[in-house]
């Protein structure tokens, strides 16, 4: 799949940042800006090129028939959002049960403009005692990749603002919906 991903990126004129994540077995990946469904496709291809298996929490209603099988194959983890359950605890349990895990989140929580990010990704990283890898997608330069590693300090608001400051330099497919 690595070579297929490289070929597709070459075909569409995109480049993946040449700095792969090294030496990290477990982390939360906070990727942004998230303004289009293409973000997932490009991100998944980039993970193939890096040789990293990303995992994604997805609503369980998507996991039916062949689509469910496909989503599990590409790293989807079904979650029941209708029940009052603690997704943070569920995600932390996945970290404990796996030797290697890159759990990917879009902190904006939507493809629309949202200045108030969801904080679940932060609390998952903090409670699982894993770093946050900041990843980006930049439609302006047609590049994407891992930017930097970030360890939660316990001050969620300040830390999330630092992550926003990193990601606001990049433009989503619809820049007006991106991070400010």
The tens place of each residue's pLDDT in the chain, 180 residues long, gives 899 999 999 999 999 998 888 889 999 999 989 888 899 899 999 999 998 889 988 888 989 999 999 999 989 988 887 766 678 888 999 999 999 999 999 888 666 676 778 888 999 999 999 999 999 999 999 999 999 999 999 999 999 999 999 999 999 888 887 777
CB 70 within 8 A of CB 79: no
The CA radius of gyration of the chain, in Å to the nearest whole number, is 16
What does 54-75 look like in DSSP terms, one character per residue?
EEEEEEGGG-SHHHHHHHHHTT
List C-alpha distances in Å: 51 to 20, 35, 93, 104.
9, 25, 24, 15
pLDDT at 174 (0 to 100): 86
pLDDT at 84 (0 to 100): 64
Closest CA to 67 of 85, 59, 39, 91: 59
pLDDT at 178 (0 to 100): 73
* Residue 22 exposed, middle or buried by CB count within 10 Å (0-12, 13-18, 19+): exposed
Closest CA to 140 of 35, 18, 6: 35
pLDDT at 129 (0 to 100): 96
pLDDT at 123 (0 to 100): 94
**Could you give the CA distance from residue 102 to residue 48 in angstroms, rounded to a whole number?**
13
The whole-model pTM stands at 0.89
Ordered alpha helix ranges (H), the chain: 2-12, 38-50, 65-73, 87-97, 120-128, 156-167
């Amino acid at each position: 799949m690595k070579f297929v991903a490289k070929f597709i990126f070459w075909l569409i004129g995109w480049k993946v940042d040449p700095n792969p994540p090294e030496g990290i077995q477990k982390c939360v990946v906070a990727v942004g800006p998230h303004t289009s469904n293409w973000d997932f496709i490009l991100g998944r291809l980039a993970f193939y090129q890096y040789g990293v298996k990303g995992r994604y929490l997805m609503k369980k209603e998507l996991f039916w028939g062949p689509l469910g099988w496909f989503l599990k194959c590409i790293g989807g983890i079904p979650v029941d959002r209708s029940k009052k359950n603690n997704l943070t605890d569920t995600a932390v349990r996945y970290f404990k049960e796996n030797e290697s895990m890159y759990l990917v989140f879009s902190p904006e929580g939507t493809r629309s403009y949202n200045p108030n990010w969801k904080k679940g990704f932060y609390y998952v990283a903090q409670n699982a005692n894993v770093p946050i890898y900041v990843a980006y997608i930049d439609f302006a330069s047609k590049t994407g990749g891992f930017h930097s590693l970030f360890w939660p300090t316990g001050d969620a608001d300040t830390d999330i603002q630092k992550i926003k400051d990193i990601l606001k330099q990049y433009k989503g497919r619809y820049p007006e919906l991106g991070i400010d």
